[in-house]
Amino acid sequence: MASPIIDASGIVKDYGTARALHGVSLQIGTGEFVALVGPSGCGKTTLLKILAGFEEPTGGHLQIQGRDMRGVPAASRPTRMVFQKLALFPHKTVAENIGFPLKLQKVGKTEANGRIRAMLDLMHLKPDYLERYPAQLSGGEQQRVALARALVSQPGVLLLDEPMSALDAKLKKSLQAELKKLHRELGTSFVLVTHDLEEAMMLADRICVMRSGHVVQVGTPADIYYRPANMFVAGFIGETNFLPVTASAAGDGMAVVSPLVAVGKTTIASEHVSPSLSAKGTALLVRPETIRFVKGDAAPGEWVLDGHVEEYFIKGASTQYRVRVHGLDNAVILDLPGSIVLPAAVGEAVRIGFDPTQAFLLSE
Amino acid sequence: MRIERKSWNDPVFVATVAPLALVMVAFFLVPLLMTAVLTFQTTQYYRLVWTWDLKIWTEVFSKPHYWTIMMRTVAMALICVVLTVLIAFPAAYALATRLKTFKTQIQILIIFAFLTDAVLKTFGWILILDKNGVANWLLMHLGFPPEMLNLLFTPTGTMIGMVYNLVAYPMFTIYLSLVRIDRDLMLAAYDAGASRIRTFFEVTLPLSRPGLYSGAVLVFVLSLGAFLEPKVLGGGTSPLASELIRQSFETRVNWPLGAALTMVLITIGALMLAACAAFVLRRPSTGRRPA
Amino acid sequence: MKKGTADTSSNIGAMKRRSVLKGMGGLGLGLAAAGSGFLASRRDAAAAESLNYMCWEGYNAPSILEPFQKSKDASISIDLITDSAGGFAKLAAGASRDFDLVSSDSPWIQRMGPAGFCRYIDEADFADQFAEFYPQFRAPFAPLAFEGKATGLPTRWGWVGPTVNTKFDKLETWSSYAPVFDSAYKDKICLLDWGDWPIMPLALYAGINPYEELDDAALEEVRKVLRAAFKNTRAIVADLAVAQKGLIDGSFRALIGGGTYATSALRMKGHDYIQSIVPEPKNGLKQGIIWMEATGLIDNGKNSQIAADFLKYIVSPDVAKQLAITEATCNLVPNSKAEALFSEEEKKALQMDYMWTAWDNSQFHTVAPNIDDMLAIWQEELAAR
């Protein structure tokens, strides 16, 4: 990255004796949209607060736009935050809320009004909303006002702290689309904290997956989805299957053996191997959509497992099957194309198969 | 929140509201009406005579000293409101935001002081304010001239007592308002570029208005009825309305006069509260626009 | 007599509650009077006979009430008066139906006869009691009589004059009320805020006899003397304890409007340098005032014998002695036989050696014809301070 707008290195944050961040390093490029993802307590919000200036890191360095941020209060940083609960001032009108940062910067009335108007247009809010109070707006409208307030002073970085977690699914989808469009139009760097990896994949240029105060993986959505660093990242994306295997180096790939499969040996090309593979708990990531019911003979090189149908769910476009396989702790999940004729009934003995060379080798 | 339009034809509504309405009528409106009726009667030989005339009102409006006392009462009440709020706000602010270590202990002490009998507390102030009292003793030992302060039996003494006895009310209401303010709002203000002081005036203060107003109203109403402090600490230098009313009822056994003065005081108080309410309701403090 | 007592709770405490509707207290009084009927009837069940008694503090001492309740198998319900006029007004509001007996300031007892609240008593029925009284109190006792008919029996008495701390002032200084107006005594005088009591002595000093019908010129004199007194006064105090504290520490050189009622309890506790005296007559007008409490039988239609028994009981020597020495105040009693029961200290505390001198130089306190005018003037001048 040529000149990152945010350069955090080795950020440590302790709350008393508890360590919330264990030396987190992250660079965010100018105009980039980065999502911080992880389960609750992973430290993503703490990192965001450190970026915003609400928390001082216990250790490490933070530069924003090339400036050391040590001791720089939130007010003086080129960052603006959209809060989880929006934190709109209930006693101020929409115009006063949006114009608040401008008022503090002593921007002239005429200019301020113009910029507030422009924000209103950008956010598709009607002009007669200006004199309303936040409580008189719907959830989605409040969301836009919060965004407008954060963007009106043209910050270098927009920080978003799970701003859409309280919205219903439909509204969330439309706002996500708008947020992405907004990002493209403005060219401002966005940092979004979310626990929803799907949302992160939809919106972000790069995703930083965190766990227990550590960064587990930073990468593009495709990286995260197709080349997860480990089982944690892969499992975080959604329901998937892990088949325990033993692996050993073989040429420029890996030789993989599964005791559960009759012809349980194959070679996996290096692009299907996690770069951070370790010896502990190696497994093949087999995506549900890559597994099929095997009726008749298996395809060449296909790995086949025997089991019986535990349950199935008709999801419309696809039908999900859960198949219990002897020797595996979790049921194997299959996502089959939706069909009016069900391929198997509950309790039925089935054979499932997949191409191991298309699977992804990773570890715990 | 949507308020459903209730109908007096709805038996359930009537049944739920009726008891409260009856209580209000029985214990508020009826006594008030009786007081009003009383003002048109006269007394003779310490007995009430039912006459229906304006004698008492003529007397009330022709004697300026009643109005002197009423105006002084209102002025004292307003000063008391200002002083109690000025003291209560920083205290409540410290309790709500700053003090962490001894918060509970301090709260318990305040509640104890608040619950202690007002008579005891007021008499306690005599020992402090007297010429040879604790305040002067302390000042003397700090190098000030002896008997520097002469506060007992002065209007200032009355005011000190009133402020002390009433300051807990706005402290509670402001505290409750302050702790209800979402901390994110302050962060949002900082984030938008506001200093701590600016944040206080832009966010904290406006959002504590409900507590501020309700505390001020409580103090104002209670100050209008201040009785103990002028009697014990005022030494006859600052007679206030309630003592005047008591004298009229009890010492002069002139119930119509006492009733008339009561009505005057209630009216002044109600008018001032209405004026304040009109002023306050110009802007909603919770974001809800008045209809 | 009286308003404030050393026990703060009985005066201010009883009506300390603040409220805009403070004035409603008076109205509440009327409601309470109506309500007390229920209470009275419920209490009946406990004892064979019941007695509803309206009285000043002191009369309600358990040492007085309990022996009577035991010997008569009666239960006594007390309603304490905090203001003589207020007590009268309460009876006037209809409470007279609920009470059997009342002890209050003598002018008010005297008025209760013609007002129809009190039964006139046949002095012959109380001949034994009158026989034990000092000659000054014997039947026919004019101060309690209306058109020759007696309204009650005297029960406690004393005099009103300057109360002085002899550690600071000589008694001779106070042979007149002049120091009240002397600039040398500026901010050293305390007026007791006890209704008409502080007004009367000051009017007498101005050469006005407040117990006579006053014309406008005379009332103007009263106004002038009150205004002059207010100018020189440090404080107008309703609470006796506060007044006494100031008197003892010297911040008040004299209490005006009190007298023995304010003095004797202090003397009883060893402050024998506190004395109440009566100033010398001025231009032939006696400057002292004798106050007296009396007990009357309320005319509630029951013609209660037990109330009459209590009246005899309360003036009997032993009980009179109890009544004389109470926790809050100490006062003289009319029964001469009680005198022998007092110890030397008690006699000294009550200033018994001075009582007839005081009597001879005093007016007798009655309801002044123009008292409401004078109280109104007091209010006006106080407001203008």
pLDDT tens-digit profile of C109-161?
998 988 889 999 998 999 999 999 999 999 889 889 988 899 999 999 999 99
CB atoms within 10 A of CB C297: 25
Q: Name which of C1, C2, C22 to mutate to probe chain B: the one with the most chain B Cβ atoms within 10 A of its Cβ.
A: C22
Q: Is the pLDDT confidence value at B116 over 60?
A: yes
Q: What are chain A's partners, defined as 3 or more CB pairs within 8 angstroms?
A: B
Q: Are A91 and B285 within 8 A, CB to CB? A: yes
- Which residues numbered 148-187 in B keep a CB inside 8 Å of some CB on A? 182, 184-185, 187
The answer to whether residue C16 scores a pLDDT higher than 50 is no
The pLDDT score that the predictor gives to residue B74 is 95
- Given pLDDT bands bounded at 50, 70 and 90, which one contains residue B253? confident
Q: Is B248 in Cβ contact with C86 (below 8 Å)?
A: no
Residue A15 CB neighbours (<10 A): 11
A87: chain B residues, CB-CB within 8 Å: 182, 184-185, 187-188
What's the confidence (pLDDT) of residue C29?
Answer: 40
Residue C20 sits in the same domain as residue C142: yes
Identity of the residue in A79, A80, A133 whose CB atom sits nearest the CB atom of B287:
A133
Q: How near does any CA of chain C get to the CA of B229, in Å?
A: 10
The answer to whether the CB atoms of C92 and B47 lie below 8 A apart is: yes
Provide the percentage of residues in chain C whose pLDDT is more than 90.
69
The pLDDT, as a whole number, for residue C365 is 92
The answer as to whether C249 is a domain residue is yes
Q: Does residue C151 sit in the same domain as residue C240?
A: no
- Whether the predicted pLDDT of C298 surpasses 80: yes
Q: Which residue has the tokens 């008030």?
A: B32
C4 contacts in chain B (CB < 8 Å)? none
Whether residue C362 is contained in a domain is answered as no
The pLDDT assigned to B109 comes to 87
Amino acid type, A330: N
Residue C317 has pLDDT above 90, yes or no: yes
What whole-number distance in Å separates Cα of residue C288 and Cα of residue C285? 9
Q: In this structure, is the dihedral angle defined by the CA atoms of residues B85, B87, B89 and B95, taken in order, positive or negative?
A: negative
Smallest CA–CA distance, residue A161 to chain B, in Å, is 12
Predicted local distance difference test score (pLDDT) of residue A2 = 60
| Confidence (pLDDT) at C60 | 94
Of B250, B34, B121, the residue nearest C108 (C-alpha): B250
pLDDT of amino acid A1: 59
pLDDT at B1 over 90: no
C244 and C128 both lie in a single domain: no
Assigned domain for C5 exists: no
Regarding chains A and C, contact by 3 or more CB pairs under 8 A is answered as no
Does residue C277 share a domain with residue C253?
A: yes
Query: With contact defined as beta carbons under 8 Å apart, do C257 and C160 qualify?
Result: yes
Cβ pair A209, A224 in contact under 8 A: yes
A253 confidence band (pLDDT: 50, 70, 90):
confident
What is the DSSP secondary-structure string of B105-136? HHHHHHHHHHHS-HHHHHHHHHHHHSTTSHHH
Q: What is the pTM of this model?
A: 0.81
Please name the residues between 15 and 34 in chain B that touch chain C, using a CB distance below 8 Å.
31, 34
Does A347 have pLDDT greater than 60? yes
Rg for chain C, CA atoms, rounded: 20
Domains of chain A: 4-231 (3.40.50.300), 232-362 (2.40.50.140)
Q: What is the pLDDT of residue A191?
A: 97
Q: For B210, which residue in chain A has the nearest alpha carbon?
A: A91
* Cα distance between residue C85 and residue C96, in whole Å: 14
Q: Is the pLDDT of residue B215 over 80?
A: yes
Residue A143 makes CB contacts below 8 A (sequence gap 6+) with: A86, A163, A164, A167, A175
Lookup result for tokens 């103990």: B228
Give the H or E element holding residue C358. Answer: helix C355-360
Q: What pLDDT, on the 0 to 100 scale, is given for residue B289?
A: 42
Q: Which domain holds residue C253?
A: 159-289+368-383
The answer to whether residue C325 scores a pLDDT higher than 90 is yes
pLDDT of residue B221 exceeding 80, the answer is yes
Q: Is chain B adjacent to chain C, meaning 3+ CB pairs within 8 angstroms?
A: yes
CA B284 to chain centre: 23
Is A350's pLDDT higher than 90? yes
Query: pLDDT tens digits for C37-54?
Result: 444 444 444 567 889 999
Query: What pLDDT band is residue B288 in, cutting at 50, 70 and 90?
Result: very low
Q: CA of B56, closest CA in chain C: separation in Å?
A: 13
Domains of chain B: 55-280 (1.10.3720.10)
CA distance A134 to chain B (A): 7
Asked if residue A5 lies in contact with residue A156, where contact means CB atoms within 8 angstroms, the answer is yes
C245 and C377 fall within a common domain: yes
Residue C317 domain-assigned? Answer: yes
d(CA A113, CA A130): 10
Shortest distance between the Cα of B198 and any Cα of chain A, in A, equals 9
* CA dist., res. A68 & res. A8, Å (int): 10
pLDDT-above-70 percentage for chain C: 88
B39 at C interface, C-beta within 8 A: no
Distances in whole angstroms, Cα of residue C110 to Cα of each of C128, C154, C238, C265: 21, 11, 25, 27
Contact call for B227 and C22, based on CB within 8 A: yes
pLDDT digits over A254-270, tens only? 888 887 877 778 888 88
- CA-based nearest residue to C34, from C88, C79, C98, C84: C98
- Poorest-confidence range of A217-231, B39-53, B269-283, C33-47? C33-47
- Asked if B266 is an interface residue toward chain C (Cβ–Cβ < 8 A), one would say yes
How many CB pairs (< 8 A) connect A and B? 80
Q: With an 8 Å Cβ cutoff, are C8 and B239 in contact?
A: no
Number of folded domains that form chain C: 2
pLDDT surpasses 70 at C342? yes
The pLDDT assigned to C363 comes to 94
pLDDT band at residue B283 using 50, 70 and 90 as cut-offs = low
Residues C130 and C239 in one domain: no
How does residue A152 score in pLDDT terms, banded at 50, 70 and 90? very high
Q: What is the average pLDDT across C271-286?
A: 95
Q: Is the CB of residue A106 less than 8 Å away from at least one CB of chain B?
A: no
Lowest mean pLDDT among A232-241, B54-63, C152-161: A232-241
Predicted confidence at residue A259, as pLDDT, reads 79
Q: Are residues C141 and C174 in the same domain?
A: no
A94, amino acid identity: V
* A268-283: pLDDT as tens digits: 888 899 888 888 889 9
For residues C19 and C92, membership in a common domain is answered with yes
Residue in chain B closest to A150 (alpha carbons) equals B192
A54 and B190 in contact by Cβ < 8 A? yes
- Over residues A81-122, the pLDDT tens digits come to 999 999 999 999 999 999 999 999 999 999 999 999 999 999
* Residues C247, C328 within the same domain: no
The answer on pLDDT for A338 being more than 90 is: no
Residue C57 lies in a domain: yes
B169, B231, B245: which to substitute to probe chain C, counting the most C Cβ within 10 Å?
B231
Q: What is the pLDDT of residue B15?
A: 81
C97 and C181 share one domain:
no
- Secondary structure (3-state) at A285: strand
Please give, one letter per residue, the 3-state secondary structure of C152-209: EEEEEEEEECCEEECCCCCHHHHCCCHHHHCHHHCCCEEEECCCCCCHHHHHHHCCCC
CB atoms under 10 Å from CB of C320, counted, come to: 25
CA distance A49 to A81: 9
Query: What's the CATH number where C133 sits?
Result: 3.40.190.10
Percentage with pLDDT > 70 across chain A: 99
Answer yes or no: do C285 and C296 share one domain. Answer: no
C138 and C245 part of one domain: no
Using CA coordinates, name the residue in chain B closest to C190. Answer: B235
Residues of chain B above pLDDT 70, percent: 94
Residues 6 or more apart whose Cβ sits within 8 Å of residue B168: B88, B110, B113, B114
- Which residues is C133 bridged to in the sheet? C335
Q: Does residue B240 have a pLDDT over 60?
A: yes
Kindly state whether residue C89 falls inside one of the protein's structural domains. yes
What average pLDDT does this structure show over B181-190?
A: 94
Q: Is the pLDDT of residue C339 over 90?
A: yes
Give CA–CA dist B190/C237, Å, rounded.
Answer: 56
- Put simply, the answer to whether B119 touches C9 (Cβ < 8 Å) is yes
Q: Is residue C244 part of a domain?
A: yes
Whether pLDDT at B91 is above 50: yes
